[in-house]
Amino acid sequence: MIIWEFEVEPSQERSFRKTYGSAGPWAKLLAKGAGHLDTQLMVCRDQPGRYLTVDRWTSLSAYEAFHRKFATAYSKLDDECSGLTKRELRIGQFDLAL
């Protein structure tokens, strides 16, 4: 899974939730990749405007293949969404610890 953290402008939270939620443009783009399982949007209870997204993939290679195939669409959507956040940080790639 790939985890991102976002700090969202208060005036943009509604648009951010719509854009980054499980039915939004980001989830729809990621779903085009073979091996994408789902995308979850989480809001922090302790810090207003702080969100995490968790993108689950069947494997790292599936995620990398998606990025190669959809690099242009990914960059375009990223540019379109830049005004929704104050900051974004890729936390990292994680696996379930069994």
What mean pLDDT comes out for the span 75-97?
Answer: 92
Q: State the pLDDT at residue 96.
A: 83
pTM value is: 0.89
Query: Backbone phi, then psi, for 32, in 5-degree steps?
Result: -70, -20
48 CB-contact burial (10 Å; exposed 0-12 / middle 13-18 / buried 19+): exposed
- Give the pLDDT confidence of 10-69 residue by residue, as tens digits: 999 999 999 999 899 999 999 999 999 999 999 999 999 999 999 999 999 999 999 999
- Residues 2-93, CATH architecture: 2-Layer Sandwich (3.30)
Query: Backbone phi, then psi, for 94, in 5-degree steps?
Result: -130, 150
Provide the residue ranges of all domains of the chain, joining segments of one domain with +.
2-93
